[in-house]
Amino acid sequence: MANEPLRGSGPTLRAMDGDGVDEVQDPDPAPDEGASMDRVLTLPNVITIVRLSCLPIFLWLLFVDENRAAAAWLLAALGATDWVDGYLARHMGQVSTLGKILDPVADRLLFIVGGGAILIDGSVPAWFAITVLVREVLVGGTTVLLGLMGARRIDVTWFGKAGTFCLMVAFPFFLAHRSTLGWSDTAGVLAWLFGIPGLVLSLYAAVLYVPLARRALREGREDRLAGPPASPPGAPV
């Protein structure tokens, strides 16, 4: 999940955050704080890069080694560690501009590459995987478009977070169901127990974001028309 944005009255930063566009009002940073936001080599960023680098390994396990069990375990681990980089960034004071962009990109790639690969493998029903992938592509494209158009922040809803979690659990179970694991039948049941609620929640969240996106875009335009806030009395110009 994305790194926690800072709030305040300073310059605006925009970054993708899963299902929404973050418009982040940073406090006026001290010189060292501003420098920390520009850091590239941080532990959370390294973890995000490691998660991304595991996607080719997942594809190799699935299509070259034809080891669905190992691929399922790896995909489950990548999904389970989704929150780690954001948590560390907030609690270690290592929130960075790069991390705010890189983390949600990793989440989208995890869904699109992982879900697409399992669809090609045939381990998940086509209608289910295609619905999830279309939703992810639409949300990701809309997120980028809103950011380019200057929309204000859209908070990720509880429905979106819950749907994402359930789907991240469901896809590895679908893969495990077609593997040689001894509990493959149980995995098939669990895949649907998480998959159906996850799909419903994620689609409902996408519907909820439509009016939120319109309002965020309107408020972003109003902010640009209003211009920068006036300097307080006695403040340097």
Residues 6+ apart with CB under 8 A from 156: 17, 18, 19, 20
Looking at the domain assignment, is residue 231 inside a domain?
no
Residue 41 lies in a domain: yes
Tell me the CA end-to-end span of the chain in Å, nearest whole number.
39
Which token pair is 215? 């309002």
Looking at the domain assignment, is residue 69 inside a domain?
yes
Q: From first to last of its 237 residues, what are the pLDDT tens digits of the chain? A: 444 444 444 444 444 444 444 444 444 444 444 545 667 677 888 888 888 899 999 999 999 999 999 999 999 998 888 777 777 777 877 777 666 777 777 878 888 899 999 999 999 999 999 999 999 888 878 877 877 787 776 767 888 889 988 999 999 999 999 999 999 999 999 999 999 999 999 999 989 888 888 888 888 777 777 766 544 444 333
Q: What is the pTM of this model?
A: 0.73
Q: How far is CA 61 from the centre of its chain?
A: 24
Q: Where residue 81 sits, what CATH number does that domain have?
A: 1.20.120
Q: Which residues of 68-92 are buried (b: 16+ CB within 10 A; e: fewer)?
A: bbbbbbbbbebbeebeebbebbeee
**Which runs of consecutive H residues, i.e. helices, occur in the chain?**
31-37, 43-59, 68-80, 84-91, 97-121, 126-148, 158-177, 184-226
d(CA 181, CA 202): 29
- Count of structural domains within the chain: 1
- DSSP three-state, residue 90: helix
Q: Is 191 part of any domain?
A: yes
Assigned domain for 236 exists: no
- Residue 237 falls inside a structural domain: no
Is the C-alpha dihedral spanning 80, 48, 114, 164 positive or negative? positive
In a domain, 3, yes or no: no
Owning domain of residue 155: 12-221
The whole-angstrom separation of Cα 58 and Cα 117 is: 9
Residue with tokens 């997942």: 58
In a domain, 235, yes or no: no
